[in-house]
Amino acid sequence: MEKKLFRSAVVFLFAAVTCSSALAIAPLGPPTAGIEQGQKRIAFEYGYGKVDLEASGFKTSAFGSAHISGGSGSGTATVSDVESNAFLANIGYGATDNWEAYALLGMANVQIDKVGNAKELGADGDYGFGYGFGTKYTFRKEESLSWGAMFQMAWSNSDDSGTLTDDDFFGAEVELAKTDVEIDYYEIIIAVGPTYEMNEQLRIYGGPFFCMLDGEYDMKISAPDGESGMKISFDLEEDSQFGGYVGAEYDLAENAPLFAELQFTGGGWGLGVGIGWKF
């Protein structure tokens, strides 16, 4: 019976990671609860994601003395090569032996190569405040195999500033405008899957997930005097909402797990690593 369940778990994991990445603000870790009732955990995690997003709901407006017609558009554009980095602390508590809840606190950034064909709308965002929360529940346990589900929601903010210049204005570089970009976004992930204990120290895990990412991009383009210009804004969302992930967790010492994982959707990929301490 145990071997049949293990084979089912392997098939489940393979299907998950080939079914379609995500711009993950935070790593996921095992989909099953990992701390006992009354136990606490603090972990330090890093997440990286690279994905193409979709931009829609374009709006433009003028401010100051700028004579620019405002408006909105219903079209969409591809936001290419969006990269995210996140450094987070994960603080968890075991409500029961099968159920844990946790909070995420740290910083994250976003980098955008271009929007459609407009590299001028790209951004190299600084690190901003990142936070979130999540919960995991183990609904079935065998000798070495457990099945669980998790919910995680995380938010982040990233800013960038720069200049638009003319590199060949009668042989001189001239500043045409200043730019300020703000990117706010959040991500919801619901995952389900197995965690299999290879031995007392090593576990493999993964499964499919549903991912919903929504955000807002705002750019302010100001004349050199800063008193007039225009604003551009649009919504961000992920094209593919289903994906999968697979990872491994290894106990460096008693109550000190280290994990690494890969995430995939139809639009990109991501990775996560972390180390924690349970007490």
Residues 19-45 pLDDT 10s: 334 555 789 999 999 999 999 999 999
d(CA 191, CA 84): 20
The two structure tokens encoding residue 135: 């919960």
Q: For the chain, how big is the Rg over CA atoms in Å?
A: 22
Residue range 61-71: mean pLDDT, rounded: 65
Q: Token pair for residue 169? A: 């204005």
Q: Could you tell me the pLDDT band of residue 269, with boundaries at 50, 70 and 90?
A: confident
Average pLDDT over residues 152-179: 73
Q: What is the pLDDT of residue 201?
A: 96
**Taking residues 191-210, what's their average pLDDT?**
96
Supply the pTM of this predicted model: 0.84
Looking at the predicted structure, is the pLDDT value of residue 129 above 70?
yes
What is the average pLDDT across 128-155?
A: 96
pLDDT for 123 equals 87
2-278 CATH, one of 3.40.50, 2.40.160, 2.40.128, 1.10.730: 2.40.128
Residue with tokens 């995690």: 45
pLDDT of residue 240: 63
CA-to-CA separations, 16 to 3, 105, 125, 239, 240, in angstroms, rounded: 20, 28, 31, 18, 14
Mean pLDDT of the chain: 85
Task: Provide the pLDDT confidence category of residue 8 given band limits of 50, 70 and 90.
Answer: very low
pLDDT score of 175 more than 70? no
Give just the sign of the alpha carbon dihedral 255, 260, 189, 115. positive
32 CB-near residues (< 8 Å, 6+ apart): 136, 137, 138, 146, 147, 148, 194, 195, 205
Per DSSP, the three-state class of 142 is coil
Average of pLDDT values for 174-183? 80
Spatial distance between the Cα atoms of 254 and 156, rounded to a whole number of angstroms? 33
Contact 46, 86 (CB under 8 A): yes
Contacts of 255 (CB under 8 A, 6+ apart): 277, 278, 279
Percent pLDDT > 90 in the chain is 54
3-class state of residue 77 by DSSP: strand
Distance CA 15, CA 17 (A): 6
Return the pLDDT at 21. Answer: 41
Binned at pLDDT 50, 70 and 90, residue 178 comes out as: confident
